[in-house]
Structure 1
Amino acid sequence: MSNAKSLEELEQKQDFIRRHIGPSPAQVSDMLSALEVSSVQELIDQTVPASIRLEQPLTVGESRTEVETLSYLKSVASKNKVFKSYIGQGYHPTNVPHVILRNVLENPGWYTAYTPYQPEIAQGRLESLLNFQTMTLDLTGLDLASASLLDESTAAAEAMGLAKRVSKAKKANAFFIADDVHTQTIDVVTTRAEQFGFEIIVGKAEDAVNHDIFGALFQYPTTSGEVVDITDLIAGVQSKKAIACVAADIMSLLLLKAPGKLGADVVLGSAQRFGVPMGYGGPHAAFFATRDAYKRSLPGRIIGVSKDRLGNDALRMAMQTREQHIRRDKANSNICTAQVLLANMAAFYAVYHGPQGLKTIAQRIHRFADILASGLKAKGIALKHNTWFDTLTVVSDNKNDVTARAIAKGVNFATNHEGEYSISVSETTTRADIAELFDIILGEGHGLSVDAIAADVEANGSESIPASLVRDDEVLTHPNFNSYHSETDMLRYIKRLESKDLSLNHSMISLGSCTMKLNATAEMIPITWPEFANLHPFCPLDQAEGYQIMIGELHDWLVNITGYDAVSLQPNSGAQGEYAGLIAIRKYHESRGDAHRNVCLIPSSAHGTNPASAQMASMKIVVVNCDKNGNVDMADLKAKAEEVAENLSCIMITYPSTHGVYEETIREICDIIHEHGGQVYMDGANMNAQVGVTSPGFIGSDVSHLNLHKTFCIPHGGGGPGVGPIGVKSHLAPFMPNHSVINVPGTNIGNGAVSAAPYGSAAILPISWAYITMMGSEGLKQATEMAIVNANYLTHELSKHFPILYRGRNNRVAHECIVDLRPLKEQSGITEMDVAKRLQDYGFHSPTMSFPVAGTLMIEPTESESKGEIDRFIEAMVSIKGEIEKVISGEWSIENNPLVFAPHTQGDVLGNEWDRAYDRFYAAFPVPAVAKNKFWPTVTRIDDVYGDRNLVCSCPAVETYRD
């Protein structure tokens, strides 16, 4: 009985592992048979070099069931104290409309989609992002907006970079920041400036014109709440040929004159209070807008309006040649992850409430601030400013007593400055809350009536927003913001957009290097728990005990998994992790008197973010060649390492390689770099093929970033959010990011921040925590092994029809393979783009196209896909090969075949005219499996050139919409 019970418990423990890993035991057996090996272990022995295989298993614990995991995590979350937050400083409580909460944030149709690089099957989220850009343009009063950055502080750092690129003050090397900008923003911008070699001047806003600068940053309203007309400040900065940047509160812009109308060149900020929970710091979408003249320097992604093959309006990511994947070290920034899911939530919030609803919310917030101010002033309480939108700063000689009373009542104020505390009211503030605030500040028996004060404020009007700054123009006039205000209409609008997008709930997304694996429902559930969702990132640490426990456990597990000694969870994207890791290397060298070490070796096959991040850390990039097999050319590496030895800072290398193989020489590469005084940065993009089998620390590297949104199951969200923590060896640990508001233990005081919040996108860390908990040590290893099995099976089957570009030892691949389409292209004229678009007709997202080698497809099935789904993909590829052969044979011409016309929409197939060389039915249903689960693209092939030549990055004009 005891043995039976133990077996039953073991089966329950392993239940989640079975559900995460796609292939059944029978399917695994079939794939191993095809690969002519007797066991998974035999395949691993053939694939992974013995010299780098872990000698000991992971020690993250045994697998837990979903019920156990969520029960334990709920007990941890309950240790968080969710106080009423009036802290402000860029983070505010908000009411997430439930129709958006359930149908966007909690909906895999929205959170599992990939970046819209294949726009024909991403029209839904592209429309939502266009709404986000339109909202940004209307509220900021500028010409051009991007489709979201990582957070307000990093957006400000990007603004500094843009200012340096476009400013005509070419000899200036200083950037000015007003001292009333949010503290965390000053911190992040200063860190970025240090890497670029810029001087930062922090001072009174009016002093900006007294310095030789290339740009300046102002806060509007200021961090302490003051609403100031900055028109003259902006003009003064521009008179010095410098760029004027403004960090603005998005809700205030419903009532305040747009900064663009005041003359600003760049306007940025956080969209968090548009229906996105505070989440202990993130993830949140930042908005960014600038002048049309600076469009080539705009950081981040831009959604533009183009035309499809039939002349229909169609959306796409515009001006992609600006991105780091193409421009590499010449890119505007290293941004790879946007915050698409959160930008969509903010856009839907604006759509749902509409211009009048948003204005009503903003007016209500401002009115409560007026009521609070009026009552306090009536009792002799001194306010620091005479103007405000939502934030009052109190000058007090009893600050400690007041804040102690607040804490006792479960209320948080901002207490950054001696003798002052600030109160920021929000959308969630009620009249009862204002009465409670009077009690806290004035003590019991103060005699104030909220209703009486409100009536007085109503009767006498408000002067807390200067008349010259009252917004007088209409915003959000497009029909999209004026049509969906009932829940029925909103629900249908969200669904209509969702149905245009292919996501993981449709089919396998086999993007090599992007690891689109299962994001299990049990992992996603905790992120909307109020105990995690509703904490301010700057609340006292004793109120975030649950977060600290969860973060601490995740930290320790990642240390064990990576073989490093410490981990920073602050970077909120993989590219930010690269940047943070390179800063740690740079500071380490400086601490040893080796500040001159600034050369970064990067293999020619590396991800575009690698050179882009290296240039952000002001490193000189030296490219190392790869050999004909895609491996690092060891002779070239040795020669270049020796040549730059005196100045060698590091190498950035991906493992397994970007070509999808376990390079045999990886340890030798690490040794060569160390021998010449450098550090080894191992890109964590392919960590999916390491966990439990090997580790970067064991191999010999010094630092890596981890894509939690790849290996550790945080979903891609249509292009973001992501989390990119760094793991480091002990000698680099002191140089990881800190934070000026909340100290991060284990790092040097004074280390700058790389993200606005101390723990980055903390709200989504429970996803990776839950994944590791439910997989346990054995499950994590099995996931890696099964990723290798699936990839090798896929490679074996496709190799019967296509050449495979690179293989490793014993003719095996790691977790992905590269299919070479160039021979077929030469014979037929059919391009890799044609194949990618035709795959959409078969119900699949294209694999990674033309990276790392032009004319190829890099395919990664992940461990989550069953053999049945992999076989379906193989069938599609083989069928497409047959179509190409018909072009080669002359049965179809190069101008008239299903590949060049792909993808096919319903309107295309059902149209009155059909002059194709192939059947309509075949266009839509090329193999029987497609008919069982047909996904229809909603536009045909999009004209990229037209979209860039006729750049439109806001919702089309109303006339077009009506047509």
Structure 2
Amino acid sequence: MNTNLFQLRHIGPRDHEKDIMLKAIGVDSIDQLIYETIPDDIRLQNELDLPEALSEYEYLQHINELGAKNKIFKSYIGLGYHEAITPSVIQRNILENPGWYTAYTPYQAEIAQGRLEALLNYQTMVCDLTGMELANASLLDEGTAAAEAMALLFDVRERAKKKAGANKFFVSEEILPQTLSVLKTRAIPIGIELVIGNHEKFDFSDDFYGAILQYPGKNGSVVDYSTFVAKANENNIKVAVAADILSLAVLKAPGEFGVDVVVGTTQRFGIPLGYGGPHAGYFATKEAYKRSIPGRIIGVTKDKDGEPALRMALQTREQHIKRERATSNICTAQVLLAVMAGMYAVYHGKEGIQFIANRVHSASQTLAAALNRLGFKQKNTAYFDTILVEVEAEKLRATAEANQVNFNYVDKNHVAISLNETVGLKEINAIVDCFEQAFNIQDITITEFISENILPENIKRNTSFLDHEVFNTYHSETDMMRYIKKLERKDLALNHSMISLGSCTMKLNAASEMLPLSNPQWGNIHPFVPLNQAEGYQIVLKNLEQQLNVVTGFAGTSLQPNSGAQGEFAGLMVIRAYHEANGDTHRNICLIPSSAHGTNPASAVMAGMKVVVTKTDEKGNIDVEDLRAKAELHKDNLAALMVTYPSTHGVFEKAIKEITSIVHDNGGQVYMDGANMNAQVGLTNPATIGADVCHLNLHKTFAIPHGGGGPGVGPICVAPQLVPFLPTNPVITTGGGNPITAISAAPWGSALACLISYGYITMLGSKGLTDSTKIAILNANYMKERLQQHFQTLYTGEMGRAAHEMILDCREFKQKGIEVVDIAKRLMDYGFHAPTVSFPVAGTIMVEPTESESLVELDRFCDALISIRKEIDATSKEDENNVLKNAPHTLAMLTNDDWSFPYSRQEAAYPLEYIMDNKFWPSVRRVDDAYGDRNLICSCNPIEDYMEAEA
């Protein structure tokens, strides 16, 4: 046994286990199983053209050598990104802890109370600092959050009757350049006209429905926007503000001067720069817009015993329910980073955050005074952390870079310098030295901070924040460590048991893939540094792009989209640009099968396309003749087909090449949703089936952990004709020769997380990747065979095989009074997270075991489902007091003197013997979703609020 092989550690089943599984399935070999699963005409004939796999030890040496090629300068570039200090207690216990980073999106609230509490803390922090009524549990970054604000205000403009037809959106010239680029990308397809200008010269005409301001401005200037906002309100123009969250500890909260939305990033609350991400964007608004707010919202409700509980609120806004009318997409959060940012506020508390903000502001004053002594004029009349200095920029740049310092070179006569919490007297003197050396000026030494009160009274904060108990309790490391652990124990993650979520591919996130994320050689690089300072990153990103080209069979890749939904949008925008370049601006019809991923219709509408749904047949496959008829009907305007392959039903549809040919013959391009790529890698690919573009969920197939619902990366890979249109960035050029504007804020999106996928592919190599796919298919088909006498598999391929996932039909149990949600909650008692529930078919569960799970774990899960089936058989519709309807069972129930149930405590908590060895306790009973939506509380409110809600 070659223990150097990473695939030995990544792939769960041992060789002898594979033989047992093949026998159970009824095939002689894995190759026979693959032959019976994947159509012959799309099977790859050659191995993936990738370098030989590295061992874990070799890979860690390799990635450290590449990290050493990055030059870690002190970066004072700002523009929304600042060096931050990650408290060690948060780094060790959250960022590096699989109990936090391997958890799934908290749809099963009863086993996610820990991260739900952490996210409620985050929402409270955002509400407090912004002065707004409601915040969501994070977005992808500041640029995309600003675009969501623009879209929300566009959607709600109908309520201001005068504004029903208004389509102009004012953008302050102080906006961050990358934010402006993302705004352009989102505005064009939905018919919004951006008008960029000086807010002091804005005319407030009826053509405008909204405006966005930057606070402080891109070069550091702080102005009082209260007059602008008051006048906008008088004219029914809604206002969004993009605000630096740390500055809000000392600057007046935007909510105080009447704005409608506040957005930004929480990166500087303890999150590494990571060459641009992942970082949690924030979004806060008025409660009046609660039905329109994007992203997930964590709300307070009660459980079956009336005890307080948390869950995701107002889910009817989300794409899996409302599809093309959705205001929320499940792929819009960065939960792990939001948890870290919220914990930063918990650890430091109000006084700590004020101290950090005041110190940063004092450092900026101190630097401005020193440069003034040297004869350099500081131009900002008021500022928080960024000064604008009049200076010969290129002369300064050469000296600064020689001294390993980066500034923001605004133009040839101005430099902006943004300071951060890492800056002390040593760093200030180093900055001053750069000016002295560049211009041969007499040396001065700064020996103390200036802390004068120079902010004008009208922009100073005078309201309190972070007053809740949680922000005033855990300030020693001992207390903080125990608080984090307390929350972790309430959450079921992959470090406890399999999470077999169909379409969400919860596989091993190997330690060797994750370790580089803690290395400052990778974590501490600003996304806008010169390319020669990020040589290690450039090698990794280019290699990863090439690896993904090989895996997909395509010609080009953009890593910029920072979620799967962003990847969908990016792919469609590239198709849109391709048609426009060919003079086909009228092509706007997007065909989407009724079985498609729920995100697809929402993304198509965002890209300005009209959705036409095609039918599926009785076997769950795309109805080819219906698709042909609709493609021919719309041939003059056909833009694209969005297809998931293998299908969302877990089947490799044999007609896929015919389907893609029909679309091409009628002038369209084919977008393949890469959610199910884990069944393709090394065996077939999107190019072979006839697709033109696909997005890949690196947080699924390529091992980036879900982190409780983010970080994610959703790159797009494209055929040769689409390469010219790959997205760019306004600060660091990326993309093709005729690129679309930015999809996300940073040039390479969440670059730090890309290291994980690079490690995954580099350590598996061609054979390991292909074997992973084969075993994913083996595991799924083994489970299908074990469960087939107890649960009907809804759809299979022509030879009766599943792909990497299967849909189990639970609708027949309704005659016993048992709903699929009862099965999901009962699985918690067996120590498992439920598979995907009621998607894509109501009343079903979709199971995907991945390749990482061993036979022992697969059997344990099958045993649990079989045991639950026996429990279903023992129930009757008339008796609701049964073990399924009462699930999950908490420790409080089991230890209560009163036991009023017709089954034993052992049946409730320990229905199978294996559970005795490793019991996971849900921390609340089944939550009441409807109650929480009727009484919406989304922050850490005083206890009186809960009492009022109850009343």
Q: What's the TM-score bracket when you normalise by the shorter of the two chains? A: over 0.9
Give the aligned residue type for 2:453. S
Task: Measure, in 1, the Cα distance between the counterparts of 2:47 and 2:548.
Answer: 14
For residue 55 of structure 1, what is the aligned residue in structure 2? 45
For residue 101 of structure 1, what is the aligned residue in structure 2? 91
After TM superposition, the structure 1 stretch with the greater mean CA deviation from structure 2, 266-275 or 949-958, is 949-958
Task: Measure, in 2, the Cα distance between the counterparts of 1:447 and 1:786.
Answer: 67
Structure 2: any 5+ residue segments left out of the alignment? Answer: none
Task: Measure, in 2, the Cα distance between the counterparts of 1:280 and 1:428.
Answer: 17
Task: Measure, in 2, the Cα distance between the counterparts of 1:934 and 1:445.
Answer: 70
The correspondence for 1:433, drawn from 427, 441, 448, is: 427
For residue 913 of structure 1, what is the aligned residue in structure 2? 898
Whether 1:446 aligns to 2:436 is no
1:209 shift after superposition: 3.2
Whether 1:840 aligns to 2:828 is yes
1:12 shift after superposition: 4.6
Task: Measure, in 2, the Cα distance between the counterparts of 1:894 and 1:776.
Answer: 55
Whether 1:297 aligns to 2:286 is no
1:210 shift after superposition: 4.3
Task: Measure, in 2, the Cα distance between the counterparts of 1:247 and 1:748.
Answer: 29
Is the 8 Å Cα contact of residues 681 and 701 (structure 1) preserved in structure 2?
A: yes
Structure 1: any 5+ residue segments left out of the alignment? Answer: 1-7
Q: How does 1:857-868 map to 2 (within 5 A)?
A: 857-868=845-856
For residue 54 of structure 2, what is the aligned residue in structure 1? 64
What SS class does the counterpart of residue 908 from structure 1 fall into?
helix
Is the 8 Å Cα contact of residues 305 and 953 (structure 1) preserved in structure 2?
A: yes
For residue 513 of structure 1, what is the aligned residue in structure 2? 503
The correspondence for 1:713, drawn from 703, 717, 732, is: 703
Is the 8 Å Cα contact of residues 209 and 236 (structure 1) preserved in structure 2?
A: no
Task: Measure, in 1, the Cα distance between the counterparts of 2:469 and 2:244.
Answer: 24
Q: How does 1:191-590 map to 2 (within 5 A)?
A: 191-211=185-205, 212-334=207-329, 336-396=331-391, 398-443=392-437, 446-451=442-447, 454=449, 457-458=450-451, 461-463=452-454, 465-590=455-580
Residue deviations 1:487-543, cap 9 Å, x none? Answer: 000000000000000000000000000000000000000111111100000000110
Whether 1:787 aligns to 2:776 is yes
For residue 155 of structure 2, what is the aligned residue in structure 1? 165
Is the 8 Å Cα contact of residues 131 and 955 (structure 1) preserved in structure 2?
A: yes
Give the aligned residue type for 2:405. V
Residue deviations 1:87-146, cap 9 Å, x none? Answer: 001000011000000100000000000000000000000000000000000000011100
1:958 shift after superposition: 4.9
1:334 shift after superposition: 4.0
For residue 5 of structure 1, what is the aligned residue in structure 2? none
What SS class does the counterpart of residue 731 from structure 1 fall into?
helix
What SS class does the counterpart of residue 392 from structure 1 fall into?
strand
Residue deviations 1:720-764, cap 9 Å, x none? Answer: 010000000010111111111100153425x20000000000001
Is the 8 Å Cα contact of residues 606 and 654 (structure 1) preserved in structure 2?
A: yes
What SS class does the counterpart of residue 214 from structure 2 fall into?
strand
1:233 shift after superposition: 1.1
Give the aligned residue type for 1:850. S
Is the 8 Å Cα contact of residues 393 and 411 (structure 2) preserved in structure 1?
A: no
Is the 8 Å Cα contact of residues 196 and 618 (structure 1) preserved in structure 2?
A: yes
What SS class does the counterpart of residue 595 from structure 1 fall into?
coil
Is the 8 Å Cα contact of residues 479 and 958 (structure 1) preserved in structure 2?
A: no
The correspondence for 2:648, drawn from 658, 664, 669, is: 658
The correspondence for 1:824, drawn from 803, 813, 831, is: 813
Whether 1:948 aligns to 2:933 is yes
1:414 shift after superposition: 0.5
For residue 124 of structure 1, what is the aligned residue in structure 2? 114
Is the 8 Å Cα contact of residues 204 and 237 (structure 2) preserved in structure 1?
A: no
1:383 shift after superposition: 1.6
Task: Measure, in 2, the Cα distance between the counterparts of 1:188 and 1:333.
Answer: 18
Whether 1:728 aligns to 2:718 is yes
Is the 8 Å Cα contact of residues 514 and 685 (structure 1) preserved in structure 2?
A: yes
Task: Measure, in 2, the Cα distance between the counterparts of 1:916 and 1:271.
Answer: 47
1:240 shift after superposition: 2.1
For residue 877 of structure 1, what is the aligned residue in structure 2? 865
1:607 shift after superposition: 1.1
The correspondence for 2:756, drawn from 760, 764, 767, is: 767
1:925 shift after superposition: 0.5
Give the aligned residue type for 2:7. I
Tell me how large the CA RMSD over aligned residues is: 1.4
Q: How does 1:611-690 map to 2 (within 5 A)?
A: 611-690=601-680
1:474 shift after superposition: 1.3
1:64 shift after superposition: 1.0
Residue deviations 1:844-874, cap 9 Å, x none? Answer: 0000000110000000000000011010000
Task: Measure, in 1, the Cα distance between the counterparts of 2:780 and 2:900.
Answer: 40
Give the aligned residue type for 1:382. K
Give TM-score scaled by structure 1 length. 0.96
Task: Measure, in 2, the Cα distance between the counterparts of 1:710 and 1:745.
Answer: 24
Is the 8 Å Cα contact of residues 370 and 462 (structure 1) preserved in structure 2?
A: no
Task: Measure, in 2, the Cα distance between the counterparts of 1:620 and 1:655.
Answer: 22
Is the 8 Å Cα contact of residues 254 and 362 (structure 1) preserved in structure 2?
A: yes
What SS class does the counterpart of residue 78 from structure 2 fall into?
coil
Whether 1:753 aligns to 2:709 is no
What SS class does the counterpart of residue 577 from structure 1 fall into?
helix
What SS class does the counterpart of residue 382 from structure 2 fall into?
coil
Residue deviations 1:808-835, cap 9 Å, x none? Answer: 021000000111011122x201000000
What stretches of structure 1 move > 6 A for 4+ residues in a row?
Answer: 960-963
What SS class does the counterpart of residue 936 from structure 1 fall into?
coil
Task: Measure, in 2, the Cα distance between the counterparts of 1:764 and 1:639.
Answer: 43
The correspondence for 2:766, drawn from 777, 782, 799, is: 777
Is the 8 Å Cα contact of residues 663 and 808 (structure 1) preserved in structure 2?
A: yes
Q: Give the aligned length.
A: 941
Give the aligned residue type for 1:156. A
Whether 1:809 aligns to 2:798 is yes
Residue deviations 1:358-413, cap 9 Å, x none? Answer: 100000000000111112223321122121100001122x2111111110100000
Give the aligned residue type for 2:613. V
Is the 8 Å Cα contact of residues 148 and 339 (structure 1) preserved in structure 2?
A: yes
Task: Measure, in 2, the Cα distance between the counterparts of 1:758 and 1:214.
Answer: 30
Task: Measure, in 2, the Cα distance between the counterparts of 1:747 and 1:106.
Answer: 39
1:961 shift after superposition: 9.8
Give the aligned residue type for 1:450. I
Task: Measure, in 1, the Cα distance between the counterparts of 2:255 and 2:737.
Answer: 39
Residue 960 and residue 914 in structure 1: after superposition, are their counterparts in 2 closer, same or farther (change >3 A)? Answer: farther
The correspondence for 1:742, drawn from 718, 732, 743, is: 732
For residue 4 of structure 1, what is the aligned residue in structure 2? none
Identity %: 55
Task: Measure, in 2, the Cα distance between the counterparts of 1:628 and 1:416.
Answer: 62
Is the 8 Å Cα contact of residues 636 and 666 (structure 2) preserved in structure 1?
A: yes
Give the aligned residue type for 1:758. P
Give the aligned residue type for 2:637. N
Is the 8 Å Cα contact of residues 296 and 328 (structure 2) preserved in structure 1?
A: no
Give the aligned residue type for 2:435. I
Residue 209 and residue 541 in structure 1: after superposition, are their counterparts in 2 closer, same or farther (change >3 A)? Answer: same
Task: Measure, in 1, the Cα distance between the counterparts of 2:881 and 2:328.
Answer: 41
What SS class does the counterpart of residue 770 from structure 1 fall into?
helix
Give the aligned residue type for 1:428. T
Is the 8 Å Cα contact of residues 333 and 616 (structure 1) preserved in structure 2?
A: no
Task: Measure, in 1, the Cα distance between the counterparts of 2:824 and 2:710.
Answer: 22
